[in-house]
Structure 1
């Protein structure tokens, strides 16, 4: 007969862009874990060998973006990053929304989870140690080269105001992808010229 898994302690903290749910459980392997992320619901299944399956469900306070959410397995915990649909601070992890809540439509590209926690949401946790650990892990995993550049552009777009986004869209489209500007005042009254890298020539493909 399979034995029962001990109770799993959970916690959460948040940044402006994400809510991070922490499950304090050791020695989890990829094949033991299933994470199902939906608009307002998080379900975690844990199945260790010879141990009864453990199912954790969280009815989230606000909507998140499932396709942009991720999880990470560490030696002493599982960390699940849920990207916020809105930039509001969550007073708690679970709960019902107010009756007058209207779900917004998100038009910005996916944001990146590259900031340490900006404020804790529970007591009795060493947040400075957690922040240091997150920064060290993200530095190790930070993408390089073209991937890193693309993520930087996504971050600028996601955090920019309307003029920054208009400038980036206009400059990229009119220059054939050779210019990316964030200065709307500078480019708003003229067409952005194509500027290929030094030593290269820009050519259109024939239809």
Structure 2
């Protein structure tokens, strides 16, 4: 692969354009009716040189000093009646800000590391430094400290007794509750197992079967 000739600039000014994809850069050189025998395109890692010979006019020599490296072995070109299309394979899948020249003065993208977390997501907030995992923990602790009252407290107590009780305790509670129509709840299996549990409505109330 020949390196770019850094000699004289072409006498004839030729228009060109370029565009890019994620993997390649395509340069379009607007020269009409170029024959393949009269065209030479040399690729190097940092430069492309296009030389066109004409029998009845000055030769055209164009060089492109690329802003990023390419892979010469994977570069190519083709001729159409109105132009020469040069396709360059990028060495890196990055976006070029310009075709030629150094890009050292351009700001580089800084990769952002996203920490992995097994907890709940940190939702956006107007206050900086808000840790939602701490907030969730505080809410759970507050709920645990809240003491139920009235019927809710009684039901919770019965649930704890039933959950921690032995099989006899559970049988006693089930039998007494069912046979008494929900008016008696006992944990003493020895007493409950002897006879059918009678209905015992609260004072001032009368039990009726519907």
TM-score if structure 2 supplies the norm length? Answer: 0.44
State the TM-score, normalized to the length of structure 1. 0.44
Decide which structure has the larger Cα Rg and report it: 2
